[in-house]
Structure 1
Amino acid sequence: MMNNLAIYRTKLRYTYTAFVRTMHHNLFLIIGFYGLLLTLIACILTPWLASNIDQLYPLKRFLMPAWFEQGDINHILGIDNTGKDIFKRLLWALQTSLAITLLITLYVILIGTVMSLWTVFCRPAAHIVLLSIQTITAIPPLLMMMILSLFSGNTLNNLMMVVGVSLLPRFIHNLYNMVNNELKKTYIIALRLDGLSIMNIMRYSVFPNILANFVSECIAIFTTCLLALTTLTFLNFGIESDYNELGVMMREMIAIMPINQWAFIAPGLAILCVILLLNFFDYGLQQARSYRD
């Protein structure tokens, strides 16, 4: 057991060293990785950076951003119509949106992986699952959310369920195709003829070869989930009025757009930057894989 543990540690150290060496030779990976790292640090430090978010500045309402002549350096994006600091609201909204998106994405990956593998190894179930996927995909998330809101309330849990269910068919379908196409390759057939068990084939041959595409699919699910979540919350679905989230913040900042356009633009830019960083990271990984191949 100690020998196996030492082997795993060596492999992990080698993989980390290879990733660091590859990353620092790829501009897209550098921008994506360090940008996402800074975003993560900002989200972790939000309780300290914006600890007094509920503090009101009634005498500074409608304050312009700091780079305007009427602005204040202590309030970078200014003050909204309720007297709250917009930059502090943005930090909390970004943390909330990313946390909800990450939670939905993890559920989709976990459930989708189990269902995809079940579909691959249980052929009779494949037709039922694929037919169900086509049916669910035909229902727009907005319509699904409207129906759920009508019958079971406009809650965050319903919103997360709708976004997750709308993304799950795509993930199951794509992962099913990845695994199924890999299992049909000649070298896999040769391994099965040699008597290697299907579990060992999946562990040592299939999963390593589809890992890059699997990561790309997870990134695509996360970005799509973030866009769907903020779009639905912007339309006032699933979030209470006092909930701080990027879509909610954009909707509330419409009231002060004629005075301070940056109050509305900043949450949108935050969403755009996160998606761009994820796409840069994904593109860098694909480039590194193509160079290695």
Structure 2
Amino acid sequence: MSRLARLIKGLKLSFSRLHSNLYLIVGFYGILAITFVALSTQWFFHAHLNPSYPALLPPAWWSSGDINHILGTNAKGQDIFNYLLIGYRSTMSMTLKAVFYVVAIGGVINYLMFFISFIRPFVLFVFKFCMVVPPLLGVIVVSLLLKDDITNMLLVIGLSYSPRFIYNIHQRVINEWNKTYITAYRLDGLSSFSILNHYILPNIVPIYLTEIVSLFGSVILSVTTMTFLGFANDVSRPDLGMMMFQMKDIIASNYLAFLSPGIAVSATIILVYLFNFGLYGRRAGT
């Protein structure tokens, strides 16, 4: 079988598996949709925050609304739908950046803990202590001691969730290491490096991805909460939390302006969890 034929066969199998259950279908195409929205705010939606209307407008379906402004405008004349698109892209960017840092640093630390056993008890002790410190407390302390900007906020959020992520993955690695088939490979003289990379890590990929999904949900909620409370607010880079904070002033006349950021965050988390459950949840239950 040629390389092209194997590639086509692999794509057909992947496509067939993608449509094997409703969770995968909804999750996958939902993620594609939100990715398109996040990446196309400028060239497709032409979203901007320049004042576009001289007065406060309600949603378009109200009697005094304007069809050109679906969710209405705020007191500054900015289109709320455009604000939502720009804020969503900014929130997703910050969340993915924090998740990437946690996963990258967590992978390095897990490698070190696996091969350098004498540092393992100390690192695990520090992690157990750090896991009880809420991200909000860390952000408050950093904002008092250092500059209150988005970089420091993402750093604190990443450091807050890193111990739990690293600890959970490490426990899975150790559990896999103690299984019978790994013992057989060790008795055959296979090196720890080969066992970790060729047997343990491939077997814990579903768990690893599940932990990343859980981390994503926690981080996006933390980022939105922090900016809603007023930390690291940058008017040149608005996000969904900042949008909720600013729209609370018009909640009486346009409650959708306040609720839409929360709906966007909730829908994103649900779609990501549905996709993850479709991939690995049903397999674990069978």
Please state which band the TM-score falls in when normalised by the shorter chain.
over 0.9
8 Å CA contact 2:90, 2:237 repeated in 1: no
Match of 1:34 among 20, 29, 35: 29
In the other structure, the counterpart of 1:178 is 172
Pairwise CA distance, 1:141 = 1.3
Pairwise CA distance, 1:174 = 0.6
Pairwise CA distance, 1:242 = 4.2
Which shows bigger deviation, 18-27 or 92-101? 18-27
Pairwise CA distance, 1:18 = 3.2
Pairwise CA distance, 1:51 = 2.9
In the alignment, the residues of structure 2 paired with residue 161 and residue 16 of structure 1 have an alpha-carbon distance, to the nearest angstrom, of: 39
The 3 A distance-change label for structure 1 pair 223 and 65 is same
8 Å CA contact 2:53, 2:73 repeated in 1: no
In the alignment, the residues of structure 2 paired with residue 75 and residue 134 of structure 1 have an alpha-carbon distance, to the nearest angstrom, of: 50
Q: TM-score, normalised by structure 1?
A: 0.91
Q: Which amino acid counterpart does residue 62 of structure 1 have in structure 2?
A: L
Match of 1:110 among 89, 104, 129: 104
Task: Determine if the alignment matches structure 1 residue 25 to structure 2 residue 20.
Answer: yes
Pairwise CA distance, 1:133 = 0.6
Pairwise CA distance, 1:268 = 0.6
Match of 1:162 among 156, 160, 166: 156
Q: TM-score, normalised by structure 2?
A: 0.94
In the alignment, the residues of structure 2 paired with residue 228 and residue 52 of structure 1 have an alpha-carbon distance, to the nearest angstrom, of: 25
Per-residue deviation, residues 162-214 of structure 1 (Å, max 9, x unmatched): 10001100111011011111111000110111122222222221111101111
Q: Which amino acid counterpart does residue 268 of structure 1 have in structure 2?
A: G
SS state at 1:221 partner: helix
SS state at 1:48 partner: coil
Task: Determine if the alignment matches structure 1 residue 212 to structure 2 residue 206.
Answer: yes
Structure 1: state its 5+ residue gaps: 1-5
SS state at 1:31 partner: helix
Task: Determine if the alignment matches structure 1 residue 187 to structure 2 residue 181.
Answer: yes
In the alignment, the residues of structure 2 paired with residue 58 and residue 38 of structure 1 have an alpha-carbon distance, to the nearest angstrom, of: 29
The 3 A distance-change label for structure 1 pair 92 and 25 is same
In the other structure, the counterpart of 2:46 is 51
Q: Which amino acid counterpart does residue 153 of structure 1 have in structure 2?
A: K
Pairwise CA distance, 1:21 = 1.4
8 Å CA contact 1:22, 1:288 repeated in 2: no
Match of 1:64 among 52, 58, 61: 58
In the alignment, the residues of structure 2 paired with residue 290 and residue 167 of structure 1 have an alpha-carbon distance, to the nearest angstrom, of: 25
The 3 A distance-change label for structure 1 pair 99 and 52 is closer
Task: Determine if the alignment matches structure 1 residue 133 to structure 2 residue 121.
Answer: no
In the alignment, the residues of structure 1 paired with residue 24 and residue 229 of structure 2 have an alpha-carbon distance, to the nearest angstrom, of: 34
In the alignment, the residues of structure 1 paired with residue 201 and residue 10 of structure 2 have an alpha-carbon distance, to the nearest angstrom, of: 16
Q: Which amino acid counterpart does residue 143 of structure 1 have in structure 2?
A: L
In the alignment, the residues of structure 2 paired with residue 246 and residue 184 of structure 1 have an alpha-carbon distance, to the nearest angstrom, of: 45
Per-residue deviation, residues 21-68 of structure 1 (Å, max 9, x unmatched): 122011001000100011101111111234351331343x22111222
Structure 2: state its 5+ residue gaps: none
Task: Determine if the alignment matches structure 1 residue 237 to structure 2 residue 240.
Answer: no
In the alignment, the residues of structure 1 paired with residue 64 and residue 212 of structure 2 have an alpha-carbon distance, to the nearest angstrom, of: 44
Pairwise CA distance, 1:288 = 4.7
Higher helix proportion (structure 1 or 2): 1
SS state at 1:109 partner: helix
The 3 A distance-change label for structure 1 pair 193 and 7 is farther
In the alignment, the residues of structure 2 paired with residue 9 and residue 178 of structure 1 have an alpha-carbon distance, to the nearest angstrom, of: 37
In the other structure, the counterpart of 1:3 is none
In the other structure, the counterpart of 1:254 is 248
Match of 2:271 among 270, 273, 277: 277
8 Å CA contact 2:41, 2:47 repeated in 1: no
Pairwise CA distance, 1:287 = 3.6
In the alignment, the residues of structure 1 paired with residue 7 and residue 76 of structure 2 have an alpha-carbon distance, to the nearest angstrom, of: 51
8 Å CA contact 1:156, 1:239 repeated in 2: yes
